[in-house]
Amino acid sequence: MTPDMVIHLAEQSIYTIMIISAPMLLIALAVGLLVSVFQAMTQIQEQTLAFIPKILAVFISIVVFGPWMLTILLDYTRDLFQNLPNLIG
Protein backbone atom coordinates (compact mmCIF):
# COMPACT_ATOMS: atom_id res chain seq x y z
CA MET A 1 0.00 0.00 0.00
CA THR A 2 1.50 3.28 -1.09
CA PRO A 3 1.20 6.56 0.80
CA ASP A 4 -1.03 7.88 -1.97
CA MET A 5 -3.48 5.04 -1.42
CA VAL A 6 -3.55 5.73 2.33
CA ILE A 7 -4.20 9.42 1.75
CA HIS A 8 -6.95 8.64 -0.75
CA LEU A 9 -8.57 6.17 1.66
CA ALA A 10 -8.41 8.70 4.51
CA GLU A 11 -9.85 11.39 2.23
CA GLN A 12 -12.78 9.17 1.26
CA SER A 13 -13.53 8.24 4.85
CA ILE A 14 -13.44 11.85 6.08
CA TYR A 15 -15.65 12.94 3.21
CA THR A 16 -18.15 10.17 4.00
CA ILE A 17 -18.21 11.12 7.68
CA MET A 18 -18.81 14.78 6.82
CA ILE A 19 -21.62 13.95 4.38
CA ILE A 20 -23.34 11.60 6.84
CA SER A 21 -23.13 13.96 9.82
CA ALA A 22 -24.01 17.18 7.98
CA PRO A 23 -27.84 16.98 8.15
CA MET A 24 -27.89 16.30 11.90
CA LEU A 25 -25.34 18.99 12.66
CA LEU A 26 -27.06 21.63 10.54
CA ILE A 27 -30.47 20.90 12.06
CA ALA A 28 -29.03 20.98 15.59
CA LEU A 29 -27.33 24.28 14.75
CA ALA A 30 -30.55 25.83 13.45
CA VAL A 31 -32.62 24.63 16.41
CA GLY A 32 -29.98 25.83 18.87
CA LEU A 33 -29.93 29.24 17.21
CA LEU A 34 -33.72 29.52 17.32
CA VAL A 35 -33.85 28.46 20.96
CA SER A 36 -31.10 30.90 21.94
CA VAL A 37 -32.89 33.76 20.17
CA PHE A 38 -36.08 32.77 21.99
CA GLN A 39 -34.21 32.69 25.30
CA ALA A 40 -32.65 36.09 24.64
CA MET A 41 -36.05 37.61 23.80
CA THR A 42 -37.83 36.19 26.83
CA GLN A 43 -34.79 36.27 29.19
CA ILE A 44 -35.41 32.66 30.21
CA GLN A 45 -32.07 31.04 31.09
CA GLU A 46 -33.15 27.45 31.56
CA GLN A 47 -30.59 24.83 30.47
CA THR A 48 -33.12 22.16 29.57
CA LEU A 49 -34.88 24.59 27.26
CA ALA A 50 -31.75 24.66 25.10
CA PHE A 51 -31.00 20.95 25.40
CA ILE A 52 -34.30 19.11 24.88
CA PRO A 53 -35.31 20.67 21.51
CA LYS A 54 -31.89 19.88 20.03
CA ILE A 55 -32.15 16.25 21.11
CA LEU A 56 -35.60 15.96 19.58
CA ALA A 57 -34.49 17.67 16.36
CA VAL A 58 -31.49 15.38 15.97
CA PHE A 59 -33.65 12.33 16.66
CA ILE A 60 -36.18 13.43 14.03
CA SER A 61 -33.38 14.14 11.55
CA ILE A 62 -32.00 10.62 12.12
CA VAL A 63 -35.44 9.18 11.40
CA VAL A 64 -35.89 11.31 8.28
CA PHE A 65 -32.35 11.09 6.87
CA GLY A 66 -31.52 7.61 8.22
CA PRO A 67 -32.17 5.65 5.00
CA TRP A 68 -30.12 8.13 2.98
CA MET A 69 -27.25 8.01 5.50
CA LEU A 70 -27.35 4.21 5.50
CA THR A 71 -27.18 4.14 1.70
CA ILE A 72 -24.12 6.42 1.70
CA LEU A 73 -22.42 4.29 4.36
CA LEU A 74 -23.22 1.03 2.57
CA ASP A 75 -21.87 2.39 -0.73
CA TYR A 76 -18.64 3.42 0.99
CA THR A 77 -18.30 0.04 2.69
CA ARG A 78 -19.05 -1.83 -0.53
CA ASP A 79 -16.39 0.18 -2.40
CA LEU A 80 -13.92 -0.43 0.41
CA PHE A 81 -14.44 -4.20 0.34
CA GLN A 82 -14.32 -4.34 -3.45
CA ASN A 83 -11.02 -2.47 -3.50
CA LEU A 84 -9.52 -4.49 -0.64
CA PRO A 85 -7.41 -6.73 -2.94
CA ASN A 86 -5.94 -3.60 -4.57
CA LEU A 87 -5.19 -2.08 -1.18
CA ILE A 88 -3.48 -5.17 0.21
CA GLY A 89 -1.60 -6.30 -2.88
pLDDT single digits (tens) 43-67: 888 878 888 999 999 999 999 999 9
pLDDT single digits (tens) 26-42: 999 999 999 999 988 98
The answer for residues whose C-beta is within 8 angstroms of residue 44's C-beta and 6 or more apart is 38
Question: Against a cut of 0.85, is the pTM above it?
Answer: no
E runs forming strands in the chain: none
User: How many CB atoms lie under 10 A from the CB of residue 31?
Assistant: 19
**Could you give the 3-state DSSP secondary structure of residue 44?**
coil
Distance from C-alpha of 79 to C-alpha of 54, rounded to nearest angstrom: 34
The answer for residues whose C-beta is within 8 angstroms of residue 89's C-beta and 6 or more apart is none
